[in-house]
């Protein structure tokens, strides 16, 4: 027997009793010492030990990444390798501490150490620069880190989280929002929507759609990607009134101001614009509780014509097969937001079915850490 994920032989016993015995055995320090020396198990012990250390050191690694981004080290190395002294001088970091940071960033694969002692950009670091909005999201994580300072208190609901006060998309239930906060949110979301749009359009064919309404579409980043991929498609955007000016400005700057119509309102109390035979929800449902989601899905069902399609795209839980992006990062992020939660594709499909949708499809996500998709149809 082998573990398909690792290619290693699976030495784990089968059955609840044997599994429990086996877990108690490997939890003994004496067994770990033996396993690290025995030829058939030392490779597994070494690998699992390294993985365990990565879990323990994960916080430090994320903080190293934060420092690299805040000091713009990747940008400084983009043109040519640099020495420690020069980077220390530019960033006002002591040379000995800059050397530590550069060594750490090299160990994480973001930069690489040259034979002459200078440091240059590595492929992973260049890729980070190539993802729109990723640096802004990393810097935004300061608030998330503070919310996770006491994870048990967060789990018990005893923390007044910063993220709960940041995201204005859920402020429809809270009243007026500072326009500057709304703009910050919209910019952050728009910058990160490029990869989401790419993966969504790879999983969803809109060639038979005449008019697409994007509910909660922010400043229109997703619809701009749709507009490029489907030049003949009519497009509509619906979002909070505070978001409308930014959406109109972005669409106009892209030369799509006349083609895309923008409608302001809140789906909690306003009707959705009519006339679309497909409606998309991109990174919307996980912002909200189940009751709000059911109300929104019901409103979409009533708005669509018979045969109309609903497209849901957002990071999702792995459900029966837990995975890191949805069940670790996004699950705790939405918990800190204190309004929504990360759902599995099966959970979302069930919510759609309750509202009357049929032909529910969950295409395999190429990059679950970017987005997953559920589609369904209003019966004819």
pLDDT tens-place string over residues 334-355: 999 888 899 999 999 999 999 9
Q: How far is CA 21 from CA 13, 15, 52, 203, in A?
A: 9, 10, 21, 44
Report for 52-56, 92-96, 239-243: range of highest mean pLDDT = 92-96
CA angle 288, 289, 291 (to 5 degrees): 120
Which residues 6+ apart lie within 8 Å of 306 measured at CB?
378, 379, 380
Per-residue model confidence (pLDDT) at position 377:
98
Residue 195 scores a pLDDT above 90: no
Q: Identify the H or E element spanning 304.
A: none
Whether 203 and 280 have beta carbons less than 8 Å apart is answered as no
Residue 168 scores a pLDDT above 70: no
Instruction: Write out the two tokens for 80.
Output: 């040519």
The Cα–Cα gap between 68 and 312 comes to: 34
Per-residue model confidence as pLDDT tens digits over 121-150: 999 999 999 887 888 889 989 999 999 999
Q: What percent of the chain has pLDDT over 70?
A: 85
In whole angstroms, how large is the CA radius of gyration of the chain? Answer: 24
Most distant CA atoms of the chain, gap in Å: 72
Per-residue model confidence as pLDDT tens digits over 244-292: 888 888 888 888 877 889 999 999 889 999 999 999 999 999 989 999 9
Per-residue model confidence (pLDDT) at position 116:
94
Count CB neighbours of 374 within 10 A.
27
Instruction: Write out the two tokens for 233.
Output: 């498609």
Residue 76 scores a pLDDT above 80: yes
Query: What pTM was estimated for this model as a whole?
Result: 0.81
Count CB neighbours of 180 within 10 A.
8
Instruction: Write out the two tokens for 56.
Output: 């323990």
The Cα–Cα gap between 73 and 70 comes to: 8
The Cα–Cα gap between 36 and 54 comes to: 18
User: Phi/psi of residue 146, each to 5°?
Assistant: -65, -35
Mean pLDDT of 98-126: 96
The Cα–Cα gap between 272 and 91 comes to: 50
Q: Residue 371's closest CA among 209, 203, 237?
A: 203
Structural domains of the chain ordered from first start: 36-129 (1.10.10.10), 165-377 (3.40.50.150)
Let me know if 117 is exposed, middle or buried by CB neighbors in 10 A (0-12, 13-18, 19+).
Answer: exposed
């Amino acid at each position: 027997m082998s573990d398909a994920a690792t290619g290693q032989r699976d030495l784990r016993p089968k059955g609840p009793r044997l599994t429990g015995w086996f877990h108690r055995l490997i939890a003994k320090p004496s067994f770990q010492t033996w396993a690290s020396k025995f030829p058939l198990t030392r490779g597994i012990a070494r690998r699992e030990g390294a993985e365990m250390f990565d879990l323990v050191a994960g916080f430090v690694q994320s903080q190293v990444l934060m420092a690299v981004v805040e000091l713009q080290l990747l940008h400084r190395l983009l043109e040519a390798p640099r020495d420690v002294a020069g980077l220390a001088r530019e960033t006002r970091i002591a040379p000995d501490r800059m050397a530590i940071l550069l060594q750490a960033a090299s160990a994480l694969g973001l930069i690489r150490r040259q034979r002459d002692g200078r440091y240059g950009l590595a492929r992973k670091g260049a890729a980070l620069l190539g993802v729109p909005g990723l640096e802004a999201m990393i810097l935004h994580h300061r608030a998330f880190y503070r919310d996770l300072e006491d994870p048990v208190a967060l789990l018990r609901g005893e923390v007044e989280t910063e993220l709960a006060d940041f995201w204005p998309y859920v402020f429809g239930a809270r009243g007026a929002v500072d326009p500057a906060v709304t703009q910050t949110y919209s910019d952050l979301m728009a910058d990160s929507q490029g990869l989401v749009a790419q993966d969504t359009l790879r999983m969803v064919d809109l060639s038979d759609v005449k008019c697409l309404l994007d509910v909660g579409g922010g400043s229109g980043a997703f619809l701009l990607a749709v507009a490029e991929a489907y030049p003949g498609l009519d497009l509509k955007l619906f979002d909070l009134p505070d978001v409308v000016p930014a959406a109109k400005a972005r669409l106009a700057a892209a030369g799509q101001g006349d083609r895309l119509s923008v409608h302001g309102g809140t789906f909690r109390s306003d009707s959705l614009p009519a006339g679309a035979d497909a409606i998309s929800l991109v990174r919307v449902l996980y912002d909200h509780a189940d009751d709000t989601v059911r109300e929104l899905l019901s409103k979409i069902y009533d708005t669509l014509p018979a045969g109309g399609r609903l497209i849901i795209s957002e990071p999702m839980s792995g459900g029966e097969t837990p995975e890191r992006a949805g069940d670790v990062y996004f699950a705790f992020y939405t918990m800190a937001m204190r309004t929504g939660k990360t759902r599995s594709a099966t959970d979302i499909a069930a919510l759609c079915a309750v509202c009357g949708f049929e032909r529910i499809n969950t295409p395999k996500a190429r990059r679950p850490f970017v987005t997953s998709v559920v589609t369904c149809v209003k019966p004819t």
